[in-house]
Structure 1
Amino acid sequence: MSKIGRNTECWCGSGKKYKKCHSGRDKQVPLSRGDAQGVLSLFSNVSKCSVPEGVKHECQTRIVKAHTLSKGNSLKAIAHEGHVLGLKHGLSSLERNSGRLTLERIGINQASTFTGFCSYHDKELFSCVEDESFKETKKQCTMLAYRPLMREVYVKEANYKVMQELRGFDRGFSFSEQLAWAKISNVNINGAKLSLADLNYIKNRVESSIEDHSFDALNHLILHLEHVPRIMACGIHGPIVDIFGNGLQEITSLDDKRPAYMTVNLLALDDNGYMIFSWLPEDGEVAMKFIESIKNCSLDILGDRLTNYIFTFFENIFVSSMWWESLGEKQERINELMMQGVIMHVYDLSMIENESYHYNAINVRGIVELY
């Protein structure tokens, strides 16, 4: 490789000059565990109200730990002694569990929270689901979808910052190792940037419908459950397969077209269980194929397939400790599902297709379409 000028833009893609970036990188002291902890703390040290600029003048200074899954309606329904089981994020948890995702005990005050709203807007925006009976209105379904959407925007913004910081974690690496690290870093940074752009597009559409009080940006499908589910979850993702494992869309950074997304809420409201799917009408081609797989599935096994789906594609999940203990050997199956997609977003679809596991976590009674 020819010599790089000190004032030349660095080859790694950071946008910095070479002298301010990778010059002499192989001779620098490798970063420590404490350095890694400091970067990962970017996930949790952001406190801001995520409402649109037009209503920020209403904000109060106190930023609260906003629950994406209601503490009063959902988490308390499955809690034992004020705790549920969920995934703890961070380096310490991964080290404690040898790099595997594992459900751990979490207090319901800390479960499913993010510092993404001020005290005023957390109350004002979501009072229609926190303080009113669930009537399955478009407003209520929209606001239920808005919570996990905003959490995902919050997480992706933090993830983007973390990925940029991780670009510099190749101190002390040989040049060939620096090249490999830069390639991985750029893929992750570009992926985070694209995902954030997708989510902000959906966010803007949903917020416009909230501001004009039409609440018509999303279509919804509501599943009525036989009882409060033993697992609670919410999130937004681009579905790549339906509940039978049939392909729906391929998501790559090479495709200029925005992938279709769906928001999912598995929760309890008024002591009743629901699973609610929400999507933009323009994403209907993919969404309706997914919905058709639900409609075409026997109610006897639908709950088990949805359980496979939730543990495979979502991470904001909380479960009853008593239910978890009742699973016995099936716990390992759940652990394997949670590890799906963690390494390079690779999935073993045979695990999703498998019908031999019965969890008794979700029991579907009926389907309501709210388009």
Structure 2
Amino acid sequence: MAFKLLSQNDFDEIFEGKDCFCGSGASYEVCHREKKYRNPKEIALDQNRFMHRSRRCPVVTEGRNCEKPVIASHSQQRRGPLKLLTENGHVLGFSGGPNAGPRGESTPELTKISARKASTFPGLCAEHDAQLFRDIENQELKPNYKTALGLARRNTLYEAVVHTDATLFLNWLQTVPTFDFQMNTAGFTAELDNMRHYAAYNWYLATLISKIETRKSARKLYFFIAKIDACLPMSATGCFCIENDLDGVKLQKFSDTKRKFSYAQISVLPQGNGTTIFSISSTNDRDMHTSRKFLESFARCGAEELSNAILRTALEYTENIYFKESWVKTLSETQRNSLCQRFDDAAYFKVGLEKPDFSLARPLDIQLEGKVVASLLKTN
């Protein structure tokens, strides 16, 4: 799926005769088509409204678009991990992360997020959501190929939808509104190009994983999946470009602009039986060597150390990360600050920004309990 930049006339056509995406009830023509922003906070609020606007299911079957209204899909099992982490109706997530309030200029903070909103995105219609995710939604997960495949597909679909919305909103922001403060919209270009590429690649990945599942592609899903004998006080899902492995080896450099970068999908999901399923995967359509080396570094991790490696990786590479509040309260102020400082959401929108080689190997002064009791590595 390719994305072309849209003009103001294109946006007029898209929103013609429709209620404005902001939820005001007014038509787009008399509302945000003439929008003048007074401060950056208004932009952050509108981006969230834009993402949760009403739209149609993007699934294509036999060449035809579904077009049924979408529901609030979850990137994590709503009856599993989120239920286990929920206390008094909420989980803790980072400011600036999905479905949380906007962050300021300082380090992100842990904030309460309604369990009903956490990990949600306007993904699919009710029929396709149930159909595509039934194998990983309503049952305890097992450390096998079927689970790894289903989790990888859900992660890529989430990233595709979210970054398509981010691309459209940034394109709209650069094209339509005016500002009462200094705003360099021309400076969006590099970020916009980056998000266009990332969104398109994740739509391709979602399709590729479906073909791998039905054996209609010669490509493969490489993965490492493990069962940990403790219900970790966190959950996380996401997709990211591989940089370094757990041993501190730089596998891909963003400065190598001629390279086709390999990506990975991560899931950390506590289960109702007192265990946690961890899955990390990568399709072999790009650099097979990079995908192998990255996944094998997790397989080499000690049985009692993997839980801590998972926490470091989730903080470095995902935004969709949630914690149990009572666990966070057991941490010292220094440990809570370390948790927030390690959450690196700013890197998502800094084109060409590379992490230090040792980023994943760098210790965190927080120790999670849990030992690997079953695992499976597939890199061939």
TM-score w.r.t. length of structure 2: 0.77
Partner of 2:112: 105
Q: Does residue 315 of structure 1 match 2:322?
A: no
Is the deviation greater in 237-246 or in 201-210?
201-210
Does the CA contact (< 8 Å) of 1:243 and 1:306 recur in 2?
no
Distance 2:68 2:202 in 1: 26
Identical-residue share of aligned pairs (%): 18
2:308 to 261, 279, 304: 304
User: Any idea what the Cα deviations from partners look like across 1:298-350, whole Å, max 9, x if unmatched?
Assistant: 33433223211111111000111111111112010011011464473453555
Partner of 2:367: 359
Does the CA contact (< 8 Å) of 1:324 and 1:331 recur in 2?
yes
TM-score w.r.t. length of structure 1: 0.79
Distance 2:117 2:158 in 1: 14
Distance 1:295 1:51 in 2: 35
Q: Does residue 261 of structure 1 match 2:263?
A: yes
Shift of 1:147: 1.1
Partner of 1:288: 292
Partner of 1:43: 51
Partner of 1:228: 231
SS of 2:248's equivalent in the other structure is coil
Paired residues in the alignment total 341
Q: Does residue 278 of structure 1 match 2:284?
A: no
SS of 1:93's equivalent in the other structure is coil
Does the CA contact (< 8 Å) of 2:57 and 2:69 recur in 1?
no
User: Any idea what the Cα deviations from partners look like across 1:286-308, whole Å, max 9, x if unmatched?
Assistant: 12211232233333433223211
Shift of 1:160: 0.7
Partner of 2:248: 245
Partner of 2:25: none
Distance 1:304 1:278 in 2: 18
Q: Does residue 94 of structure 1 match 2:102?
A: yes
Partner of 1:20: none
Q: Does residue 31 of structure 1 match 2:37?
A: yes
Distance 2:68 2:363 in 1: 50
Distance 1:32 1:289 in 2: 48
Question: 2:270 is aligned with what amino acid?
Answer: A
Distance 1:281 1:92 in 2: 34
Distance 2:197 2:365 in 1: 36
| Compared CA separation, residues 275 and 120, structure 1 to 2 (3 A) | same
Partner of 2:60: 52
2:199 to 196, 199, 208: 196
| Compared CA separation, residues 136 and 354, structure 1 to 2 (3 A) | closer
Distance 1:78 1:67 in 2: 15
Question: 1:333 is aligned with what amino acid?
Answer: S
1:163 to 170, 192, 195: 170
Does the CA contact (< 8 Å) of 2:100 and 2:111 recur in 1?
no
User: Any idea what the Cα deviations from partners look like across 1:22-49, whole Å, max 9, x if unmatched?
Assistant: xxxxxxx973238624355322225332
Is the deviation greater in 60-69 or in 272-281?
60-69
Partner of 1:208: 211
| Compared CA separation, residues 203 and 49, structure 1 to 2 (3 A) | same
Question: 2:261 is aligned with what amino acid?
Answer: P
Distance 1:247 1:284 in 2: 15
Shift of 1:355: 2.6
Distance 2:63 2:94 in 1: 33
Shift of 1:142: 1.4
Distance 1:55 1:108 in 2: 36
Query: Highest Rg: 1 or 2?
Result: 1
Distance 1:326 1:55 in 2: 53
Question: 1:86 is aligned with what amino acid?
Answer: G
Distance 1:229 1:278 in 2: 20
2:335 to 327, 330, 350: 330
Shift of 1:216: 7.5
Distance 2:248 2:346 in 1: 14
Question: 2:79 is aligned with what amino acid?
Answer: G
Query: Which aligned pairs between 1:124-143 and structure 2 lie closer than 5 A?
Result: 124-143=131-150
Q: Unaligned stretches of 5+ in structure 2? A: 10-34
Q: Unaligned stretches of 5+ in structure 1? A: 1-12, 18-28
Distance 2:197 2:89 in 1: 38
User: Any idea what the Cα deviations from partners look like across 1:183-222, whole Å, max 9, x if unmatched?
Assistant: x211111111221232222122112234568997422211
Q: Which has the higher helix share?
A: 1
Distance 2:300 2:47 in 1: 46
2:221 to 218, 221, 227: 218
Question: 1:364 is aligned with what amino acid?
Answer: V
Partner of 2:74: 67
| Compared CA separation, residues 202 and 257, structure 1 to 2 (3 A) | farther
SS of 1:71's equivalent in the other structure is coil
